Structure 1
């Protein structure tokens, strides 16, 4: 019979790598929410009427293509495009077909703004439009963008946003991003304040790297000040935002109650109490109504993963985490007999959560949960390796570090977990994700590299030596600043691989896997804002304003 951790530790003084994380900032704020059914019904009725009017706009015959792409962009940025997916796809397919035929519509504008917008929309929707579309804006003699474009702020902003959809080898878009960024930063300070506001926002948070729900709230605030705004679109966006917020608050209430009843934090006082931030992560992954069950399941998964992570990273001894890892691999409730006392509630809660998931999925392929369990087993094996590095003071070569840390980024596990509650997901989707295709490895890289830059100082203060930055500095003999710059450059390259994967026309990845991957990468960009702070561990500055906007404050209509 294997000895317990208590028996191991009884023979020596136990030294724990405690982290002293700040407490939850929300208390029971979201547990007492009461869903107003009557208000929801009234909003739904008004929304349905407005949707009919917007569909008529999208399908109106004889509309200029430049007007159509502006309408689609506005609808998407207002956060209401999920109501019109078929209509939008039909219009973009037509646009893509015309572009491939090099069709010239003499009534359509071909300025920088419209060209870049067309490019961005088509790529966002998985169409591989060529970046050569921008060659007409370049000087044939020196290969640079035309000097006359430097004062076209609206066009430069559109080019800047489009350039974030680039893939590897597209030098013209690399030049475009540099050209647009440089000139937007030196924009005339007396420029129209509405456009200036958009420029400042874009330079801080590119649209392609932003969480759609946050971007929608921001754009609604901008659009309502636009003198040429469409009142029907604006009203629909406001009402829809508030109705969807009601659904999100109801889900957050359910997740918060589950977490409180579980009462893990009182039993694991070393762990981060971040269930609201976990739900924010789930909303960042997909926010539409049809993914309600998937969001709840993902939020619970992230909360449990966070507690496990802290057990390995901020409390457990080598003996304890070795026993816990073995227990996870065996996945059997009888393993509690071998666990140290404080780990038993965590282990039980984890197994019970998956029993709950399997019951929820019963009507459709409950074996999906087995994919998530297998990914979790691999994740904790990675956690164990990293914890031993930390405790033993081992600094691995960078390649060895990266092999393990891509697993512990959690993004393979969370990609699998994201699909559990998605009705359209198939077993083929799970199997494809498990093959670790290039663009999903790139997703893990974005998570790991940005996380490492943002959390380096905090981990260093805790005495953690086996960090990515430390490994890179030692192996290549470079400064901290140089290592950070290299990490951010590698993250940009990984984003290009993600973009490329989303343009692949094959049976897989399916649309939902693409959506999950891109949105998970976006959450990382937002949570670790500007690579300066760990917004999950320290949510007060970075995430609290977003959570208030998404789950507390409705839009005034």
Structure 2
């Protein structure tokens, strides 16, 4: 958080201007989504007809169950990577359940590719598969834990192993070795093919594999936003020899159908945002509506989560404004007052400055709308949980503001405890649950309020990743100490050493996330949809904050991703075309 003086957390001058100059004309984007007629309804209807027709043939493909386990797994993997798995949830679950019940240890003749694919798909779907299935690929007499060198020539097997190993949990040293080995082998393969020019069919196939290798080395599937991964896979699958034309066409039709749905959702949300006119009335705040919607899609992309995306985007936009109030604009006295007002849930707002009344009034109105939606669904209890989530958020922001105002640097342990809430993910998780209908009953909110392990891990991962990429430019303009400064000060180490330790903390968080995902098949546990939402939130951070803060500075690759996701439809050929 920024400051201009000892009792001012920020101002609407330099710090706010720095943030707003990163915008890529959000008002233009808003007008774009309101005024543009994206697709003729007859075309949309044609997409739906095409989807319905192809669904039946693909369903038959899944139910006819290819003769070998390897073929079953490959088909499921392609269907899910193409982004059409949501159309066949029951069929996929039935197949994976049968594979799991057959036993977790592979046949001796199963190669690395199949063993790793089985491991990854089953773990992704919540089945507990032991990591020792990879022992048969390790050396028995040489250095313990090393993989057999001859495996390195199997590029498909290496990619499969690399992707599988990123579902590792604590104590799984086999998977630690697997990541190291696969990374080295894939990197060597990538370097060998650098400079290769497309010419013969064989060279083109090698280039396509090289493209896939480079993609997963940058970001494994486990840490990628699903829609972004689907876009990439559709582009490479289309070039693969022997690809299934029906699957490809269904993937493109589904992509266009969902894109049209997202456009309609954004049109409604954009009207609300423009009517608030915060870009004028609260000019210090970042205008990030499209980025926040992208965030919501990244976490919950399937059509059944439309209400969650709607609620998430509207309230998270207000959370972003709230962050800028505590970060760059409010004085410490004003922030104390706002926090106390929210603690009382005082809707009179009589003592607040005008700009805070505008903000707090919008929060109240938005939560009232959430209450109306959830009450109609028979879940009138959601509002009280929402109020509690808002209060927790404000307390965390105020704690950081006080540290800054007093010039204090907390221990890394203190900072991480507050950071679980200041990162905003507990509030976002509540908002997502509010839109999930019967997938999020009262028990789910009670579970969330008790700070379950997966919430703490995802939130800590968010806080640390944000701090690592943002702390240098934020410290230049005046900001509360980040996790980097806290660790450096407490342990008297360099920035490089501190970042190395924080990166390991984030890897530990991912292991907790992976462990918690294996609980979803236990009777009476929280729904898979809720757990999937948490994984989605962690994946968004990996995409937007891995290299730099592409939320604050979104006029970068973020804009390219949003354009592909929200604006440009795919060309759809016939199912018979090559």
Unaligned runs of 5+ in 2: 1-5, 197-202, 573-578
**SS of residue in 2 equivalent to 1:269:** coil
**Aligned residue-pair number:** 539
Q: Distance in 2 between matches of 1:44 and 1:547?
A: 23
Q: Distance in 2 between matches of 1:441 and 1:465?
A: 21
8 Å Cα contact 1:445-1:491 kept in structure 2: yes
Question: Is structure 2 residue 83 aligned with structure 1 residue 79?
Answer: yes
Deviation, structure 1 residue 14? 6.5
Question: Is structure 2 residue 501 aligned with structure 1 residue 486?
Answer: yes
Deviation, structure 1 residue 250? 0.8
Task: Within 5 Å, give how 1:200-211 maps onto structure 2.
Answer: 200-211=214-225
- Matched residue, 2:356: 343
Deviation, structure 1 residue 395? 1.1
Question: Is structure 2 residue 363 aligned with structure 1 residue 360?
Answer: no
- Matched residue, 2:248: 234
Question: Is structure 2 residue 371 aligned with structure 1 residue 373?
Answer: no
Deviation, structure 1 residue 356? 1.2
Name which of structure 1's ranges 284-293 and 303-312 shifts more when overlaid on structure 2. 284-293
Name which of structure 1's ranges 381-390 and 392-401 shifts more when overlaid on structure 2. 392-401
8 Å Cα contact 1:375-1:412 kept in structure 2: yes
For 1:498, which of 498, 509, 513 is the aligned residue? 513
- Matched residue, 1:440: 455
8 Å Cα contact 1:429-1:508 kept in structure 2: no
8 Å Cα contact 2:7-2:333 kept in structure 1: no
Q: Distance in 1 between matches of 2:95 and 2:45?
A: 31
Give a deviation string over 1:299-319, Cα, whole Å, max 9, x none: 011100000010001110011
Name which of structure 1's ranges 118-127 and 20-29 shifts more when overlaid on structure 2. 20-29
For 2:10, which of 16, 26, 49 is the aligned residue? 16
Q: Distance in 1 between matches of 2:271 and 2:89?
A: 34
> 1:149/1:245 Cα in 2 relative to 1: closer, same or farther (>3 Å)?
same
Give a deviation string over 1:94-150, Cα, whole Å, max 9, x none: 1111124x574x9xx611111111110000000011111111101111231001011
Name which of structure 1's ranges 170-179 and 38-47 shifts more when overlaid on structure 2. 38-47
Q: Distance in 2 between matches of 1:43 and 1:511?
A: 29
For 2:528, which of 511, 514, 528 is the aligned residue? 511
Q: Distance in 2 between matches of 1:544 and 1:14?
A: 33
Question: Is structure 2 residue 56 aligned with structure 1 residue 52?
Answer: yes
Question: Is structure 2 residue 134 aligned with structure 1 residue 134?
Answer: yes
- Matched residue, 1:33: 36
Q: Distance in 2 between matches of 1:354 and 1:399?
A: 32
Q: Distance in 2 between matches of 1:485 and 1:516?
A: 28
Question: Which has the higher relative contact order, 1 or 2, with Cα contacts under 8 A spaced 6 or more apart?
Answer: 2
Q: Distance in 2 between matches of 1:383 and 1:210?
A: 29
- Matched residue, 1:261: 275
Deviation, structure 1 residue 417? 1.0
- Matched residue, 1:461: 476
8 Å Cα contact 1:382-1:405 kept in structure 2: yes
Deviation, structure 1 residue 151? 1.4
Q: Distance in 2 between matches of 1:523 and 1:51?
A: 29
Give a deviation string over 1:402-439, Cα, whole Å, max 9, x none: 11111101111111111111122111111111111222
Question: Is structure 2 residue 542 aligned with structure 1 residue 525?
Answer: yes
- Matched residue, 2:157: 155
- TM-score, normalised via structure 1 length: 0.94
8 Å Cα contact 1:293-1:422 kept in structure 2: yes
Q: Distance in 2 between matches of 1:36 and 1:434?
A: 45
**SS of residue in 1 equivalent to 2:408:** coil
Deviation, structure 1 residue 17? 4.5
Q: Distance in 2 between matches of 1:22 and 1:81?
A: 39
Give a deviation string over 1:301-338, Cα, whole Å, max 9, x none: 11000000100011100111111111111223212x10
Name which of structure 1's ranges 514-523 and 539-548 shifts more when overlaid on structure 2. 539-548
> 1:404/1:39 Cα in 2 relative to 1: closer, same or farther (>3 Å)?
same
Task: Within 5 Å, give how 1:66-215 maps onto structure 2.
Answer: 66-100=70-104, 102=105, 104=107, 110-142=110-142, 143=144, 144-187=146-189, 188-189=192-193, 192-215=206-229
Q: Distance in 1 between matches of 2:470 and 2:92?
A: 40
> 1:130/1:31 Cα in 2 relative to 1: closer, same or farther (>3 Å)?
same
Unaligned runs of 5+ in 1: 1-11
Q: Distance in 1 between matches of 2:351 and 2:54?
A: 60
Q: Distance in 2 between matches of 1:396 and 1:368?
A: 34
- Matched residue, 1:534: 549
8 Å Cα contact 1:119-1:162 kept in structure 2: yes
Deviation, structure 1 residue 62? 5.5
For 2:315, which of 301, 324, 343 is the aligned residue? 301
8 Å Cα contact 1:469-1:483 kept in structure 2: yes
8 Å Cα contact 1:318-1:387 kept in structure 2: yes
Deviation, structure 1 residue 366? 2.7
Q: Distance in 1 between matches of 2:469 and 2:262?
A: 28
8 Å Cα contact 1:33-1:249 kept in structure 2: no
8 Å Cα contact 1:33-1:253 kept in structure 2: no
8 Å Cα contact 2:77-2:121 kept in structure 1: yes
Deviation, structure 1 residue 84? 0.4
Give a deviation string over 1:252-275, Cα, whole Å, max 9, x none: 111111111111121111110001
